[in-house]
C-alpha cells in the first residue's frame, strides 16, 4: 500500500469513530429542521480551516438547507464528495451510539453518518494537499431518505472530474473491498381507492370496500415483479391505509409500492397493471418518485484498477438495488463511484450498525480513489 495513504487512513479512521459518535448522538430524521441544523453544525465544526461553507436550498420544501463545503486548490481537477445527514429512524426510536465489541450500533451508523465521518476526514486530507486539485467540494444533503422532487444541485456540478459518494461499503465473498458502480432505478407508486361507505353490520352489501380493493390490488400488482428477469424488476407493497371505524365499510384508502429496476421504463408496466376498478371501488395510480438507474461500470474500470494498485489490493465493482444520490449525479459526472462508507448492516432499522475496524479500511479505499481520480482526470 502507498505509505501516505496507509498513515492518513489510520488517522481518519480513528477520528471518524469519535465524530460518528457525535453525529449519531443527534437525531436527524428526514424533515426535522432542528435535527438537521444540529448535525450540520457538528459537521462544520469538523471541517479544516479555510474551507468555504455555503448553504443551498434543499430539494424538498420545508427542510433545512443543505450543506456545501468548498476547498480551493492550486492544481487541476474538480472532485465532488457526496453524502446525506438524514435518517429513516424517528426521534421515538433514536438512541446514542452503543458499542458491542467491534460493532457500533446507532441510527444512521451505516446509512450514512459513518460515511459522512469518512468524507469529512477525506476533506481534511485534501485541505492539506491543495496542489492535488483545483476545487474539491463536499455536499451533504438532508432529504435523501424521503425526497420525491428532482435533486436541485446536479447541474451545479456538471463537468466535475469525479463524484465519490459515501454510502455504506461492501466486501466480496473473497474478502475484497467492493464499491458500487451500478444501482437500480427506484420508483414510488401510490394507488388511491374510492369506494362507498355503509354500515358494516346491517348494510354491508350497500358499500364498496376500498380496503378490499386495495388488498386485491396489492397482490395483483406485486405479481408483475420479475426479479430474475433482465431488468431485475421488484414491486413491493409497503404501506396501506384504509378505514376509520370498526363498524363502517371503508370508503377510501391508499396503497404504496416500492419499485426497483435496472431500467426505469419498466415502471410503466407496473402502473399499467393497476386495475381501474375492483369490487365497485375505483382505483387511481400516481407515480410519486422516479430515481434514475446508475451504471458507471465501464467508465470507472481504469479508475478502480489504478486505485487498487495504490492500495495494494483489488477494488471490486459491485451493483446494488438500493437508491442513492450518486444515481442523480452519474449522468452529469460519468466518473461516479458509490459505496465508499464503512461496512455495516441493518440500515433503516433500530439495530443498524457498522464494523469499527472498517472505518480505517474504507478510508484507505476512499483515499486511493481520490488520489487516482485526481491523477486520472476526466
Contact 128, 48 (CB under 8 A): yes
Burial of 179: CB neighbours in 10 Å, binned 0-12, 13-18, 19+: buried
Contact 365, 179 (CB under 8 A): yes
Rounded Cα–Cα distance for residues 363 and 16 (Å): 9
- C-alpha cell belonging to residue 53: 461553507
- Three-state secondary-structure class, residue 142: coil
Predicted TM-score of the model (pTM): 0.91
Q: Which of 370, 359, 235, 377 is nearest to 311 (CA)?
A: 370
Rg (CA), the chain: 23
Peptide bond into 112 cis (omega under 30): yes
Domain residue extents for the chain: 3-184+293-376, 185-291
Rounded Cα–Cα distance for residues 140 and 56 (Å): 10
Which CATH architecture describes the domain 3-184+293-376?
3-Layer(aba) Sandwich (3.40)
- C-alpha cell belonging to residue 351: 439495530
- Three-state secondary-structure class, residue 146: coil
The pLDDT, as a whole number, for residue 157 is 98
- Tell me phi and psi for residue 70, to 5 degrees: -120, 135
Do the bridges between strand 66-72 and strand 135-141 make them parallel or antiparallel, or are there none, so unpaired? antiparallel
The pLDDT, as a whole number, for residue 36 is 98
HSE of 123, CA atoms in CB hemisphere, 13 A:
34
Contact 204, 196 (CB under 8 A): no
Per-residue pLDDT of the chain (378 residues; tens, 9 = 90+): 889 999 999 999 999 999 999 999 999 999 999 999 999 999 999 999 999 999 999 999 999 999 999 999 999 999 999 999 999 999 999 999 999 999 999 999 999 999 999 999 999 999 999 999 999 999 999 999 999 989 999 999 999 999 999 999 999 999 999 999 999 999 999 999 999 999 999 999 999 999 999 999 999 999 999 999 999 999 999 999 999 999 999 999 999 999 999 999 999 999 999 999 999 999 999 999 999 999 999 999 999 999 999 999 999 999 998 889 999 999 999 999 999 999 999 999 989 999 999 999 999 999 999 999 998 654
- C-alpha cell belonging to residue 307: 486505485
- C-alpha cell belonging to residue 138: 463536499
Rounded Cα–Cα distance for residues 163 and 157 (Å): 9
Neighbouring CB atoms inside 10 A of 314's CB total 15
Could you please state the CATH topology (level 3) that the domain comprising 185-291 is classified under.
Alpha-Beta Plaits (3.30.70)
Amino acid at each position: 500500500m502507498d505509505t501516505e495513504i496507509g498513515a492518513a487512513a489510520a488517522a481518519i479512521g480513528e477520528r471518524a469513530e469519535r465524530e460518528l459518535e457525535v453525529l449519531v448522538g443527534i437525531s436527524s430524521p428526514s424533515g426535522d429542521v432542528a435535527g438537521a441544523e444540529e448535525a450540520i453544525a457538528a459537521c462544520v465544526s469538523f471541517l479544516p480551516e479555510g474551507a468555504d461553507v455555503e448553504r443551498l436550498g434543499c430539494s424538498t420544501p420545508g427542510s433545512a438547507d443543505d450543506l456545501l463545503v468548498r476547498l480551493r486548490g492550486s492544481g487541476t481537477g474538480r472532485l465532488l464528495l457526496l453524502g446525506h445527514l438524514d435518517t429513516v429512524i424517528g426521534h421515538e426510536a433514536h438512541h446514542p451510539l452503543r458499542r458491542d465489541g467491534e460493532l457500533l450500533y446507532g441510527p444512521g451508523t451505516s446509512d450514512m453518518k459513518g460515511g459522512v465521518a469518512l468524507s469529512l476526514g477525506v476533506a481534511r486530507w485534501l485541505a492539506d494537499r491543495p496542489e492535488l486539485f483545483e476545487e474539491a467540494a463536499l455536499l451533504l444533503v438532508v432529504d435523501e431518505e424521503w425526497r420525491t422532487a428532482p435533486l436541485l444541485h446536479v447541474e451545479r456540478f456538471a463537468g466535475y472530474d469525479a463524484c465519490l459518494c459515501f454510502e455504506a461499503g461492501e466486501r466480496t465473498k473473497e474478502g475484497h473491498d467492493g464499491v458500487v458502480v451500478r444501482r437500480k432505478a427506484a420508483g414510488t407508486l401510490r394507488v388511491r381507492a374510492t369506494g362507498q361507505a355503509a354500515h358494516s353490520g346491517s348494510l354491508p352489501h350497500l358499500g364498496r370496500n376500498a380496503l378490499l380493493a386495495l388488498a386485491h390490488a396489492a397482490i395483483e400488482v406485486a405479481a408483475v415483479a420479475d426479479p430474475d428477469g433482465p431488468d431485475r424488476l421488484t414491486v413491493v407493497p409497503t404501506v396501506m391505509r384504509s378505514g376509520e371505524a370498526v363498524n363502517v365499510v371503508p370508503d377510501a384508502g391508499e396503497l404504496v409500492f416500492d419499485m426497483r429496476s435496472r431500467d426505469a421504463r419498466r415502471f410503466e408496466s407496473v402502473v399499467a397493471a393497476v386495475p381501474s376498478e375492483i369490487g365497485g371501488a375505483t382505483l387511481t395510480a400516481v407515480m410519486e418518485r422516479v430515481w434514475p438507474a446508475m451504471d458507471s461500470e465501464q467508465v470507472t474500470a481504469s479508475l478502480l484498477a489504478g486505485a487498487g494498485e495504490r492500495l495494494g489490493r483489488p477494488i471490486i465493482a459491485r451493483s446494488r438495488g438500493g437508491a442513492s444520490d450518486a444515481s442523480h449525479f452519474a449522468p452529469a459526472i460519468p466518473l461516479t463511484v458509490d459505496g465508499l462508507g464503512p461496512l455495516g448492516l441493518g440500515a433503516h432499522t433500530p439495530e443498524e450498525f457498522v464494523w469499527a475496524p472498517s472505518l480505517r479500511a474504507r478510508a484507505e479505499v476512499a483515499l486511493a480513489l481520490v488520489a487516482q481520480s485526481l491523477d486520472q482526470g476526466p
